[in-house]
Amino acid sequence: MATYYNEPSHTFSEYLLIPGYTDENCRPENVVLTTPLVKYRKGKEECPLKLNIPLVSAIMQSVSNDTLAIALAKQGGISFIYGSQSVESEAAMVARVKNHKAGFVVSDSNLTPDSTLSDVLELVARTGHSTIAVTDDGTCSGKLLGLITSRDYRVSRMNGSALVKDFMTPFNDLITAPENTDLSSANDIIWEHKINQLPIIDKDGRLLYLVFRKDYEEHKDHPQEILDKGKRLLVGAGINTLDYEKRVPKLIEAGADVLCIDSSEGYSCWQKKTIDYIRKNYGDKVKVGAGNVVDRDGFLFLAEAGADFVKVGIGGGSICITREQKGIGRGQATALIDVVAARDEYFEKTGVYIPVCSDGGIVHDYHMTLALAMGADFIMLGRYFARFDESPTTKLNVKGTYVKEYWGEGSNRARNWQRYDLGGKKGLSFEEGVDSYVPYAGHLADNVAKSLYKVKSTMCNCGVTDIPSLHEKARMTLVSATSIVEGGSHDVILKNSDTLNFNS
């Protein structure tokens, strides 16, 4: 007969944390949120990839492009660029993130000397970048002939047909540096000559990179940013279990620091085949996460298959309707608790610590703290990040309220059938996600700072100042439906209520 779990599965909203002893050190500014991203021998070696904050963005078209990846990496988290696009397009997004902040930026705004002022204005409007490299062939690697910045032209006093070569700052008037210049030296040159950008050129005068004064300032403003050994932002990328032989090499070549198999259900031979391919061709140098699973068996399967981290959650996302369509899934809190127990069991047996990522089910900020307290090492978020300026979707005004579009990878709009397919080669048979709006929330940095301050404050209430201590010391209680109601405002008339009427 079938196996039955007599206990119901629970969501985060059905739990509360019990306060612990708060000493003088338990203040938000003392809380450290550093957390491992990939597996390692805990107690014997350093984790090769760490996050400075326990947040990663979901592998979704409406969430994780290069713009959001840059913004999140500056805050200390990492994005997984969505894989439901061409290999070339995904690799290009990865490359843009890696090139954004090496300090050495590959120019994405380039023209020839025979281009016009109209071309300049169109390029600035399209890219948002005011520095344009003028090269012999109009590419980012052509021979550098000059630069254009906003100081080189005045729209009100010039004709749109004016040629670039007549108003650019020519090469002979530029300060440049050779290709072996390191970032520290480049910044010294920028400050010494009081310039805003420094072209790095090779021995033949071909443009390699631009180093910007603003990047140095930005680094000081983002002390939590996560960088590789070359001082480039970290970025992840999503792959599927069908075209991985073509996709993985391109993503690694583009500079992806970590990969993740994007699948609605990870307890499958297809995930093992994908990991086997990576291990055979790259050994342990290429890091790859797998999932999603909801129980001990699923975790142990992926652990033995060689996953560097394991994602937990099926059907808990705000746009996911897998449970409605297929009757598959588990309450996110229960799934996480079960998988974490298996993670700890595996560590005790092997000495290898495999980080667990909680994916889905986060509705309120305090759910983040609960997920971490239940043993998650980091949290994958879709809806949360889709609300911000940096996400790739359109900001709209709907009935007087600003919103952003947000759709599931299993929706007809995304048509990401690879994520849900069971090894065949066919289209999307039925939808497992919806197309929706989320309330617009502004800049990523502001919202992440606010959310994580809440997490830090709650951790202090639990008497801990780091995530491993939270794993060990957190105490939780299930709550009844009545106590959930009690936890919100009740039995009062809210001042901003539309129904306020003292005469009734």
What is the four-CA torsion angle of 332, 334, 339, 341, rounded to 10 degrees? 150
Q: Could you tell me the CA-to-CA distances from 192 to 101, 180, 208, 413 in Å, in that order?
A: 21, 19, 21, 52
Angle between helices 332-350 and 365-373 (to 10 degrees): 30
Rounded Cα distance, 72 and 155, in Å: 35
- Which of 40, 12, 10 shows the shortest CA–CA distance to 381? 12
Rounded Cα distance, 52 and 74, in Å: 10
Rounded Cα distance, 148 and 130, in Å: 8
Q: Are strands 78-81 and 55-57 parallel, antiparallel or unpaired?
A: parallel
Task: Evaluate whether 68 touches 57 at the Cβ level (below 8 Å).
Answer: yes
* 227 DSSP 8-state letter: B
DSSP-assigned states of every residue in 419-442: GT--SS-----S-SB-EEEEE--B
Strand partners, 494: none
Task: Evaluate whether 316 touches 292 at the Cβ level (below 8 Å).
Answer: no
Instruction: Return all residues near 352 (Cβ < 8 A) that are at least 6 apart.
Output: 39, 40, 41, 42, 303, 346
Catalytic residue among 26, 47, 320, 462: 320
Catalytic residue among 232, 343, 387, 419: 419
- State the residue for tokens 């550093």: 34
Burial (Cβ within 10 Å: 0-12, 13-18, ≥19) of residue 206: middle
SS3 for 291? strand
Active site residue 419: yes
Q: Which token pair is 421? A: 């397919």
SS3 for 405? strand
- Which of 450, 330, 331 shows the shortest CA–CA distance to 387? 450
**Annotated catalytic sites, by residue?**
320, 419
